[in-house]
Amino acid sequence: MAKAITLRPLSIVKLRDLEFGNLIAGPAAGTVTIDADDDSRSTTGGVGAAGGAPQAAQFYTYGGPRQFIYVTRGPLPVLTRAGGGATMNVSQLTLNGATFRYLDDAGILDLRVGGQLNVGANQMAGEYSGSFTITVTYF
């Protein structure tokens, strides 16, 4: 497969989604966390990792060389089970750097977003999805 992305000045493009991967919900609640810097996954409490392709979301932002930017996010997402019947809350969204920063010499920034998902005790099986908003303000 061949693929190309072209960016317009002052733009942001999503390259991939935040994926928590496959999980096993036990009799105790817990969390699963995806690190924005290295895509690593960790779990706590009654949650077990069961494969899948966990990864941080990835965006490219494009502006002027060494341009100053400010990155913000919208409300924390709620993941809803396909077919209904259950939800899970994302309790954190994390960035791979500061909220105020500079684009590189080419005017590009590789922006990654990790997060923490709260998994309930005996969480209903199924595929869960939701969305979040990232805003980049260019100065």
pLDDT band at 3 (very low <50, low <70, confident <90, very high): confident
Hunting for tokens 């919900």 — which residue is that? 25
- Tell which phi-psi region holds residue 10, choosing left (phi > 0), alpha (psi between -120 and 50) or beta: left
Per-residue pLDDT tens digits for 25-49: 999 999 999 999 999 999 999 999 9
Query: What are the domain boundaries of the chain?
Result: 11-138
Determine whether 106 is exposed, middle or buried from the number of CB atoms within 10 Å of its CB (0-12, 13-18, 19+). Answer: exposed
What digits encode the pLDDT tens for the residues 64-118?
999 999 999 999 999 999 999 999 999 999 999 999 999 999 999 999 999 999 9
11-138 carries CATH number 2.60.40: yes
Q: Report CA dihedral (40, 44, 47, 48) to the nearest 10 degrees.
A: 50
CA distances (Å), 56 to each of 14, 41, 59, in order?
11, 9, 10
| DSSP code of residue 21 | -
Could you tell me which of 76, 67, 58 has the C-alpha nearest to residue 103? Answer: 67
